[in-house]
Amino acid sequence: MRNYTPLVTLLLIYAVMIAIGQGIQGMWQPIMLVIFYIAVGQALNIFLGMTGYVNFGYVALLGVGAYGMAVALGYYTDLGLIPALTLGFILAILLAFIVSMVVGGIALRLRGAYFAIATIGVNEGIKYLILGGKIWGGSSGIVLSGILRKAYGAETMRFLSTVFADAGLIVVAILSGVITMYILNSRLGYGLIALREDEDAAKVMGINVRRYKQIAFVISCILAGLIGATAWTLKLTYVFPQDVFAINYTVEAIVIVMLGGAGTLLGPVVGGLIYALLKYYLTIAFPGMQLLILAPLLIIVILLFPEGVVGYLAKAARGTRFEKFVR
């Protein structure tokens, strides 16, 4: 039967995180870092976790989303604050939609590893298109702080880059979770699981695998675009191509999904928590050495839980009264 109760667990985790961030001095920034990584994992999970396909161009979608917001706020400042912001979200969604339709339409004809290889170029391609074509400021990017301060005042700008950006990211993160839960309970989810397990058998079972992969890909990419628009453009108030098209975010997102449990609702949350907290505190404790310590720790977790922490917990909870709350 359809089961939405894992959402209770999800919302509870967010409530606890927000309470810690607001209640304890100095905890808000680490909590927002955690939520950023959860969001990034959750959005990727909708494609990677459900279809088993690896999207190596993932960060490009965060990048175009970031540019969508930056273009609206930077070039259409005169529209006024609310219309410009609205336009920013629309552009972020639209750019992510266009890129994902084009990339998916072409690359999703390829299977497995070939798809992954085809998507590697996407990120670099868009980055050098902006750099070389001097589009949207080229290598000097779009710097919003001055523009926003002049147009809307320092107070509004501070509100935008703190409260509004953080709230926006939290909304996108939770929205990604809710969408994941909906998909898991829908025909789309069953179709995606089938094609992840055996694409040829899925076709014979009547599943239009090309279409289903494309739907999952586009949803995942649009959410990524919204993360870029909130967590990067609004929060940092600048966009540089070298920053937003950095492939390490793609790799981090893949690690988070695998760590927590691919194709589960709570996987990216647990994966994001483990990854972000380890990274944050290792950086403080062993500056410069953090990655050297982080990598073996991650390998140990993955060896202990090959199906991810949540994949393991969901199995362990089977038959107990917690079963309904873990997925």
- Provide DSSP, 226-240: HHIIIIIIIHHSEE-
Say how far apart CA 322 and CA 313 lie, in whole Å.
10
Nearer to other proteins by Cβ, of 124 and 197: the residue is 197
Q: Rounded to the nearest whole angstrom, what is the least distance from the CB of residue 4 to other proteins in the complex?
A: 12
Q: Rounded to the nearest whole angstrom, what is the least distance from the CB of residue 295 to other proteins in the complex?
A: 27
Residue with token string 């998916």: 104
Residue with token string 């390490």: 248
Q: Does 135 bind other proteins (CB under 8 A)?
A: no
Handedness of CA 30, 32, 33, 34 (dihedral sign): positive
Residues 6+ apart with CB under 8 A from 129: 135
- Provide DSSP, 46-59: HHHHHH----TTHH
Contacting residue, 54, 71, 73, 209, with other proteins by CB under 8 A: 209
Q: Rounded to the nearest whole angstrom, what is the least distance from the CB of residue 195 to other proteins in the complex?
A: 9
Q: Rounded to the nearest whole angstrom, what is the least distance from the CB of residue 1 to other proteins in the complex?
A: 7
Residues numbered 157 to 186 that lie near other proteins (CB under 8 A) are: 185-186
What does the DSSP 8-state code read for residue 246?
-
Q: Rounded to the nearest whole angstrom, what is the least distance from the CB of residue 216 to other proteins in the complex?
A: 16
Nearer to other proteins by Cβ, of 52 and 121: the residue is 52
Residue with token string 């995606």: 192
Say how far apart CA 30 and CA 176 lie, in whole Å.
20
Contacting residue, 17, 84, 103, 194, with other proteins by CB under 8 A: 194
Nearer to other proteins by Cβ, of 206 and 288: the residue is 206
Contacting residue, 1, 82, 284, 304, with other proteins by CB under 8 A: 1
Write out the two tokens for 67.
């540019």
Comparing CA positions, the residue from 43, 99, 82, 89 lying closest to residue 68 is: 89
Contacting residue, 73, 93, 172, 202, with other proteins by CB under 8 A: 202
Ranges of H-type helices in the chain: 6-23, 28-51, 58-75, 81-107, 112-132, 145-152, 154-159, 165-184, 187-197, 199-204, 209-227, 235-236, 241-244, 248-260, 267-285, 290-304, 309-317
Say how far apart CA 281 and CA 140 lie, in whole Å.
32
- The contact pattern for other proteins, residues 73-102, with x = CB under 8 A and - = no contact, is ------------------------------
Number of shown-chain residues binding other proteins (CB under 8 A): 23
Q: Rounded to the nearest whole angstrom, what is the least distance from the CB of residue 204 to other proteins in the complex?
A: 5
Q: Rounded to the nearest whole angstrom, what is the least distance from the CB of residue 114 to other proteins in the complex?
A: 20
Q: Rounded to the nearest whole angstrom, what is the least distance from the CB of residue 315 to other proteins in the complex?
A: 9
- The contact pattern for other proteins, residues 297-326, with x = CB under 8 A and - = no contact, is ---------------------x--------
Nearer to other proteins by Cβ, of 202 and 255: the residue is 202
Q: Does 242 bind other proteins (CB under 8 A)?
A: no
Say how far apart CA 202 and CA 210 lie, in whole Å.
11
Q: How many CB atoms lie within 10 A of CB 1?
A: 3
Specify the stretch interacting with other proteins by CB under 8 A; choose among 153-161, 202-210, 221-229, 278-286.
Answer: 202-210
Instruction: Give the interface with other proteins as residue ranges (CB under 8 A).
Output: 1-2, 185-187, 190-191, 193-194, 196-198, 200-209, 318
